[in-house]
Amino acid sequence: MELFHKIREELLEMSSDAVRQRSQHYFKDEILIVGVKAPAVNALAKKYRKEIRQLSKSEFFALCELFWQSGSVEESQLVSFWLLDACKQLNADDIAVLKHWIENYVDNWASCDSLCPKTIGYLLEKYPPLIEEMKRWAKHSNSWLRRAAAVSFIYPAKHGLYLNDIFQIAEIMMLSSEDLVQKGYGWMLKVASQSFPEEVYTFLMLHKAVMPRTAFRYALEKYPPAQRKEAMLK
């Protein structure tokens, strides 16, 4: 696809070894990084927004697939920008395409978190039956789908929605040994605590004995210092 090569060439021209090396420090594992700062990537996405909007859905998904296959963090950021821009044109059935991309191409928290909270979060608010799909993701063997299941509730949680489902997602992943999954559902609970402080605190105290400390600390972050201290000591 000509548009893919045009955008990718422009992205590569902006790359910097210094930016690439600094960016790698944010990830425990070695991942593919072009070396372009996030504001510049967003500016590139905006530059081609008009052309992207003119594509049919099948053409748009095919373009996104090419960028996912290329595999860099910056290219996943481009895709996530355009997907968010196209949210109102997505429907519930498109969750299968998003799942395919997460399961097959996502290999780092940045790519997961640029795609899921806003775009899938929007779909969860628009199509509540998709919540059951998130619960299936929470049990999946793929750790990025499990993290996605949690962080996709960030924006619904921010809007005061789906508290019982959020608790169910957290319970499904409660005993995960994976750091990024723990941080994912801890983040989800932290955001939910801003709308439901008493309910989330009660949930945390109920599960404190088994919840990994990483998730527990993340979930407590928005509570007053004295309450956090008390919770850690109980």
Burial group, residue 97, by CB count within 10 angstroms (0-12, 13-18, 19+): middle
SS3 of 71, please? coil
Cα–Cα distance measured from residue 82 to residue 232, given in angstroms and rounded to the nearest whole number: 41
Cα 38 to Cα 20, 78, 133, 172: the distances in Å are 12, 10, 30, 33
Written as one letter, the residue type at 91 is: N
The tokens describing 118, both together, are 């806003």
The pLDDT value recorded for residue 107 is 94
Tens-digit pLDDT string for the chain (234 aa): 899 999 999 999 999 999 999 999 989 888 999 999 999 999 999 999 999 999 999 999 999 999 999 999 999 999 999 999 999 999 999 999 999 999 999 999 999 999 999 999 999 999 999 999 999 999 999 999 999 999 999 999 999 999 999 999 999 999 999 999 999 999 999 999 999 999 999 999 999 999 999 999 999 999 999 999 989 886
* Total Cβ atoms within 10 A of residue 119: 24
Written as one letter, the residue type at 184 is: G
Query: Is the distance from CB of 123 to CB of 130 less than 8 angstroms?
Result: yes
pTM of the predicted model as reported, rounded to 2 decimal places? 0.93
Measured in residues, the chain has a length of 234
Query: Is the distance from CB of 90 to CB of 123 less than 8 angstroms?
Result: yes
Cα–Cα distance measured from residue 79 to residue 60, given in angstroms and rounded to the nearest whole number: 10
The tokens describing 153, both together, are 């509730």
Mention every residue, 6+ apart, whose C-beta is less than 8 A from residue 133.
95, 99
The pLDDT value recorded for residue 234 is 67
Written as one letter, the residue type at 134 is: M
CB contact burial 181-194 (16+ within 10 A = b; e otherwise) = bbbbbbbbbbbbbe
Token pair 């090396």: residue:
21
Rg (CA), the chain: 19
